[in-house]
Structure 1
Amino acid sequence: MIPTRRTLLAALAAVGTLASLTACGGGSDSSDSSSGAPKGTYTFWDPYPQFDASSPWGKRISACGSKAGVKVKRTAYDTSDLGNKALLAAQQGNAPDVMLVDNPVVSTLVEAGILNKTSDLGLDTKSVQKNIIGAGTIDGSAYGVPIGANTLALYYNKKVLSAAGVDPASVKDWDSLTSALKKVKAAGKKGITFSAINTEEGSFQFLPWFWGAGGDLTKLNSADGVAALALWKQWVDEGFAPKDVLQNTQTTSWQEFATGDYAFSENGTWQLGNAEKAGFDYGVINIPARNGGSAPVPTGGEFVTVPVQKDTARYDVSKKIVTCLTSSSNLLPTDMTLVYVAPTAEVQAEQVKQNPKLKPWVQAVASARGRTSGGLGTKYPTISQPMWTAVQAALSGSKAPKAALDTAQSAAAKG
C-alpha cells in the first residue's frame, strides 16, 4: 500500500502541529534510512536523541536486534521532526523497518497509509490496558504496541502544605484544592504552577481540568469546558498561580516548583528523577475532578510501529524486534528518565513493588485517555490549537472564558 502524495502532504500538515510532551529533548540526527539497507541490518527510528548507544535504552535496542539475529541501525530524532521525516521517507519508499512514535502521531501516519496493523503482523496486544492501546487504535484496529505510558498528576511540597495547615489528603475536588491554595497564599507561599503555553503542551496540561469538568473535545464551548477555563483564570487572577503560566513549558513550570516556594505543580511522570533531586520532601496526588474523584488525564508515551515496506519479507524480523522491546522484562525497568508506567497490569504491579512511588502514577494512567481516542484521530490537532489559543486569551484577559471558547469552537468546526 503506497500512500498518495496528497495524503502525505495533508498528514505532514497535521504532524506539524503536534509537539513533544514528555521529557524528550531537542536535536536530531540527519542520517537517512533505506529499505535497501545492507542485508542483516534493520533500521529503527525513535524520538530519544538524549539517549546515546551507551544508554540503557540504546543497549536495549541493540540487544533486541541481536536476539532477532540482525544488526539494528538506530536513528534518533526530535519528536515532531520524527513524524515529518517518517512521512517523507514513506513518500520516497525508504521508511524505517521499525519506528517508535509519540501516540498522537499514530493516527496521522495511519491516515497517510504508512503503518501496518498489529493484527496483520501477528502481534498480540490483548494484555495491554484498553485506554492505553486506544491511543494507537483507529477504526477498531491497533497500529502499534505501546512501550508504556506517562501522564500528569499533582506534585506537592510537604513543607509548604504543612506550614499552611493543609492536609494533602483533603484535596478531593476543585473546591478543596482552591481552598488549599488560599491557605498557602495566606501563609506567604505560592500556590500552583502549570504550563498554559500556546503549544500542545498547554492543551495537554489543560485537558485534565477540561475532562474533569465533563468537557467534550467536540464541543469546546460547553458549560463544562467554560468552567474548567474559568477555574484556571480564577487561580491566575487571585494570585494562586503565576501569570507566567502563559509562557511556561512543562520544564520551566517544574523549575518554578523546584525552588521550593510552590505548594503544587501539575507535571508528569518524567519529573520523578528531578523530584528526588529537589531537596525537599514531596508527594503526588491525582488531579481531582470538579466534583471529586480522579480527573481523566491525557496519555503520553510512544508506540512501537512497523511501517509499510515494499519487501514484506522484512516483517518477520521487524515483528521479533517489536516483541522483544515490548516484552515484560523490557517493560519493567524504569531506568529511562521518562519513567514509563508499563501498559499491562501485570508489569505495573511489579513496578510498584520495586518502586512504591509509582503507585499514584499507575492510578493516574488507569484513568487516562488518549488525545486522539474516541474517533478523533487526525481531527485532534484541529481542536487542540484553538483550545490552547482560548486558554491564552482567557488567562491574559483579552477574552472572557466563554467568549474565548466560543471562538475556539468556531475555529475547530472549520478545521
Structure 2
Amino acid sequence: MTRPARRRLTATALTVVALTAGATACSSGDGTTTATAEDSGTYTVWDPYPQFAKDSDWAKLLDDCGGKAGVTIKRTAFDTSDLTNKALLAAQQDNSPDVLILDNPVVSTLAEAGVLTTTDENKVDTSKADPNLLAAGQADGRTYGTPIGANTLALYYNKDVLKAAGVDVASIKDWASLTAALEKVKKAGKKGITFSAIGTEEGSFQFLPWFWGSGAQLTDLDSAQGVSALSLWNDWLKKGYAPNSVINNTQTTSWQEFASGDYAFAENGTWQLANAEKAGFDYGVLPIPASDGGNAAAPTGGEFVTVPVQGDTGRYTTTRKLVSCLTSTENLYATDTTLSYVAPTAEVQDKQVAENAGLKPWVEAVKAAKGRTSDDLGTTYPKISEQMWKAVQSALSGAESPEDALAKAQSAVK
C-alpha cells in the first residue's frame, strides 16, 4: 500500500484541541490515554462506550478480534463528547489510535481535519453496508469508515390510550391522519404527543424527521416545506395536542412523560426499548410518517469504525483485519443487540427481525433514515443545526412565526 500523504489539522480543529486538552477517559488498559503501541504486537482502539467494563462482551469481542489478528488490543473508552477532542489532540501529536469508533456526525469533522484515512487507502470493505447509513461517513466522494450499527427515531404509542380514543393506528399514514388521531385523543381526555424541542442538537435531531418528511432540504431552511414542518409542531402546541414542556424537554424527559401512561405518542429512539418493556402498559412502534404519506427520513445515530492516519502505513493491514472482525455478520449481530442498534447490513437486519419481530418497525425506520451530514454537508451541518433549533425554540415559544423564525435562521447560516 502506498503511503497516504500526511494531513495537516485545520485551524478550527487545533482550537478545539487547545480548549479540551484536559478531557478524561476510561481505559481497559493501564489508565493512560496515549495511543502509541508499546510494541508492534499491540494495537490501540478508542471507543465511546465507557459503560462497558473490561469484563463486558464488548471488551471481550475486541480481545477476541485482536487474538484472531495475532495482536494484543489496548482499549481506551471515552465519553462521546471527549472522544472527538482527544482524537484531534492525538492526531496533532502523531499519536492516533489504530482504530477509532466515532459518533457518525463527527466523521466528517475528523475527515476534514485530516485525521482519518479513506477506505480506498485502508482497504476496509464497506460493500455490505446500507448506502443510506454509509453516507453519514462520506464526504467529497470519499468514504471514511463503516457503520457498526444505527439507531433512529420513531413514534412509540400507547395502545390503551389509542383504544380508548377510538384510534386505529393503522389509519395513521400521514400528518393529517396523525393530527386527526391527536384530536381524538384530546377529546377522550388524554394527552397527545410528546417530543424534545430543546435548544440543543437533541432538538434538531427530533425536528429533522418532520423537516425532511415535508420534503425540505437543510440548505434551504425557510422553504415552504420547512415552514410547514415547523407550523405542524407549532399548531400542535397551540391546540394542546403537545405540551409546552417540549420546549425544554430532552429525549429523556420526553420519555418520562410518555412513561406516565397519559400520552398517546412519544417521538423517541431505539435506546428506549428496554424502558418501554418496563413501562407497565402495552405499546407499539410506528415509523414517523411523511407529510403526504410513507415513512419520513429520520436522522441516523450510531457509530462508525474508522482508521486514523498512521505514520507507519504497514499497520493498516492488521487494522483492516480488526475492523473486518468487528463488523462481521456474526459480531454485528451480537454487538448491535448489546447496543440496542439496528445493524447496518440487510443480512443482519433480517436476523434481528427473525429473532425479535418487534424490531421490524425500527428496521423500516433505519432503512428510510438519513445521516445528518449527508448531501455533502459535512462540517456545515452543525452551523445549520444550531440555527434550526433556535428557530424551533423561537416559534414554539411564540416569539416569532414559523416563517420569520426560519427566515432568520436561513439568513444566519448564509
Same fold (TM over 0.5): yes
Hey, what does 1:303 align to over in structure 2?
304
AA in 1 matched with 2:361: P
- Whole-angstrom distance in 1 between the partners of 2:169 and 2:366: 20
Aligned residue in 1 for 2:55: 54
Shift of 1:33: 2.1
Equivalences for 1:12-161 in 2 at 5 Å? 12=16, 28-29=25-26, 31-161=32-162
CA distance in 1, matches of 2:200, 2:25: 20
Q: Hey, what does 2:179 align to over in structure 1?
A: 178
In 1, the alpha carbon distance for the partners of 2:265 and 2:115 equals 42
1:337 to partner: Cα distance: 5.2
Separation (CA, whole Å) in 2 of partners of 1:258 and 1:367:
26
- Is residue 107–residue 377 contact of structure 1 (8 Å, CA) maintained in 2? yes
Give the TM-score normalised by the residue count of structure 1.
Answer: 0.93
Moved more, 281-290 or 26-35: 26-35
> Offset at 1:38?
3.5
Q: Which region of structure 1 is more displaced relative to structure 2, 362-371 or 67-76?
A: 67-76
Task: Look up the match of 1:216.
Answer: 217
2:8 counterpart residue number: 4
Measured against aligned partners, the alpha-carbon deviations of 1:141-186 in whole angstroms (never above 9, x if no partner) come to 2110111111111010001110111111111111111111111111
Gaps of 5+ in 1: 17-25
Q: Secondary structure at the match of 1:267?
A: strand
For 2:219 and 2:8, locate their aligned partners in 1 and report how far apart those are by CA, in whole Å.
29
**Residues 336/37 of structure 1: CA separation in 2 closer, same or farther (3 Å cut):** farther
Name the CA distance, whole Å, in 2 between partners of 1:302 and 1:11.
24
Q: Secondary structure at the match of 1:332?
A: helix
Write the distance in 1 (CA, Å) between the matches of 2:357 and 2:297.
22
Alignment match, 1:199: 200
Distance 1:5 1:198, change over 3 A: same
Native 8 Å contact 1:270 1:339 kept in 2: yes
Contact 2:336–2:342 (8 Å) recurs in 1: no
Quote how far apart the aligned CAs of 1:359 are: 0.5
Name the CA distance, whole Å, in 2 between partners of 1:31 and 1:239: 52
Q: 1:219 deviation in Å? A: 0.6
CA drift at 1:242: 1.2
Q: Which residue of 2 aligns with 1:322?
A: 323
Q: Which residue of 1 aligns with 2:365?
A: 364
Uncovered stretches (5+) of structure 2, i.e. residues with no partner: none
In structure 2, give the amino acid aligned to 1:189: K
Q: Deviations over 1:381-405 (max 9, x none)?
A: 1100000110011111111111110
1:403 aligned partner, one-letter code:
D
**Residue 239 (structure 1) aligned with residue 240 (structure 2):** yes
Q: Secondary structure at the match of 1:176?
A: helix
In the alignment, the residues of structure 2 paired with residue 336 and residue 200 of structure 1 have an alpha-carbon distance, to the nearest angstrom, of 26
How many residue pairs match? The answer is 403
Instruction: Trace 1:222-371 onto structure 2 (pairs within 5 A).
Output: 222-333=223-334, 336=337, 338-371=339-372
1:19 corresponds in structure 2 to none
1:56–1:336: 8 Å Cα contact kept in structure 2? no
Identity value in percent: 63
Change (3 A) 1:284 1:219: same
8 Å contact from structure 2 (residues 138, 376) kept in 1: no
Say if 2:409 is the partner of 1:405: no
Tell me how far 1:318 sits from its aligned partner. 1.1
| Whole-angstrom distance in 2 between the partners of 1:42 and 1:365 | 32
Once superposed, what is the RMSD of the aligned Cα atoms?
1.9
SS of alignment partner, residue 366 of structure 1: helix
How far apart, CA to CA, are the structure 2 residues paired with 1:215 and 1:88? 37
Instruction: Read off the aligned partner of 2:318 and give its amino acid letter.
Output: V
> Which digits, 9 at most, give the CA deviation of each residue in 1:52-108, with x for residues without a partner?
122222221222122212221111111121111111110111111101001111111
Name the CA shift for 1:27/1:403 in 2 (closer, same or farther; >3 Å): farther
Specify the alignment match of 1:20 in structure 2.
none
- Secondary structure at 2:395 match in 1: helix
Checking the alignment, whether the CA contact within 8 Å between 1:11 and 1:109 is kept in structure 2 is: no
Q: Map of 1:363-402 to 2, 5 A cutoff? A: 363-402=364-403
* Deviation (angstroms), 1:285: 0.7
